[in-house]
């Protein structure tokens, strides 16, 4: 029991210390941060992230974040830079160098080489008085007074702060550019996230045959159409006009409420106010409508003409749900 209590206490302490460090950094956002954002917003080139050790890992994550939110970025390891990778830096680029101390040997070798290329150097550093802090054109103050471990050695708080500050830069650029969900989808076309942002009803409904019957069809025809097309419903149409819908639930209710249904007609069964969705709506809108109405299918319309169905199972298969 004592061991588990110690573990719980330590975990809470570490999380609180790192959270407090991020809050302290938020209080350091000032005009110099704004100037840095404005520079990145209007530069012609890319953002090149670099660092050594754990800072290099944070740099790689931030490259992914920047690229996915509309700011072209790439990673250059600080140690590899002096062995040829400096060639990836182009005119108009900005280099963001991540380092807690700002005084590591690799950084001291790299900084003059970057300055010689004539590109903008941005320091993401805890110690503003360090060599990196003094040489940079812009400084992002990633203050980390103490690491979270008891030895004050393992990069913990410092990497958390750098990551959070880098995210803040990326999102400030995103908002300044008016980056939209549709823009985001361009960079995330795969997986459930991308599909939620770009998949439309028109991309889904053509995969099914369209269950439909005329207003003068028999109830037997309606049941056959529902069963054979396997969407749990059939539309009732008269030419281009959607008259209603009959679901398998309507069939069950008919059997429950009528001992003799030989004289019943399609008009006696169908719902004359079917729930519909336009084919150019996003699939997520179809899901929201199904959830709010507690139904499993919608009639799809194009130019006010019924053209098919979209079913909840379609959305499940696509990973929208």
Query: Where is the binding site, in residues?
Result: 77
Residues 40, 66: contact at Cβ < 8 Å?
no
Q: Which residues contact 209 (CB under 8 A, 6 or more apart)?
A: 229
> 226 burial class (0-12, 13-18, 19+ CB within 10 angstroms)?
buried
User: What residue numbers does the annotated binding site for Zn(2+) cover?
Assistant: 77
Q: Which residues contact 56 (CB under 8 A, 6 or more apart)?
A: 50, 75, 77, 78, 98
User: Measured between alpha carbons, how far is 125 from 102 in angstroms, rounded to an integer?
Assistant: 6
With b meaning 16 or more CB within 10 Å and e meaning fewer, what string describes 142-155?
bbbeebbeeeeeeb
- What does DSSP assign to residue 282? B
User: Measured between alpha carbons, how far is 85 from 97 in angstroms, rounded to an integer?
Assistant: 15
> 65 burial class (0-12, 13-18, 19+ CB within 10 angstroms)?
middle
Residues 111, 131: contact at Cβ < 8 Å?
yes
């Amino acid at each position: 029991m004592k061991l588990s209590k110690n573990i719980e206490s330590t975990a809470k302490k570490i999380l609180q210390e790192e959270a407090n460090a991020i809050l302290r950094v938020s209080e350091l956002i000032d005009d110099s941060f704004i100037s840095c954002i404005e520079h990145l917003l209007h530069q012609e080139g890319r953002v090149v992230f670099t660092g050594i050790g754990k800072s290099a890992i944070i740099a790689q994550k931030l490259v992914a974040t920047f690229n996915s939110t509309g700011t072209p970025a790439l990673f250059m390891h600080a140690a590899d830079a002096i062995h040829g990778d400096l060639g990836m830096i182009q005119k108009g680029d900005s280099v963001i160098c991540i380092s807690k101390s700002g005084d590591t040997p690799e950084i001291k070798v790299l900084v003059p080489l970057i300055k010689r290329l004539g590109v903008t150097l941005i320091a993401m550093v805890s110690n503003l008085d360090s060599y990196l802090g003094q040489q940079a054109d812009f400084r992002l103050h990633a203050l980390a007074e103490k690491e979270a471990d008891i030895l004050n050695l393992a990069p913990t708080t410092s990497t958390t702060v750098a990551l959070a500050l880098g995210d803040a830069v990326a999102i400030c650029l995103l908002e300044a550019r008016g980056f939209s969900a549709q823009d985001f989808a361009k960079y995330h076309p795969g997986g459930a996230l991308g599909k939620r942002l770009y998949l439309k009803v028109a991309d889904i409904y053509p995969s099914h045959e369209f269950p439909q019957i005329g207003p003068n069809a028999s109830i037997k025809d309606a049941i056959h159409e529902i069963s054979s097309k396997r969407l749990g419903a059939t539309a009732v149409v008269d030419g281009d006009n959607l008259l209603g819908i009959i679901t398998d639930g309507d069939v069950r209710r008919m059997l429950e409420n009528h001992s003799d249904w030989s004289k019943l007609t399609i008009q006696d069964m169908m719902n004359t106010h079917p729930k519909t969705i336009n084919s150019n709506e996003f699939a997520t809108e179809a899901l929201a409508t199904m959830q709010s109405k507690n139904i499993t299918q919608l009639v799809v319309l194009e130019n006010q003409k019924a053209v098919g169905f979209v079913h909840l199972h379609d959305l499940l298969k696509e990973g929208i749900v």
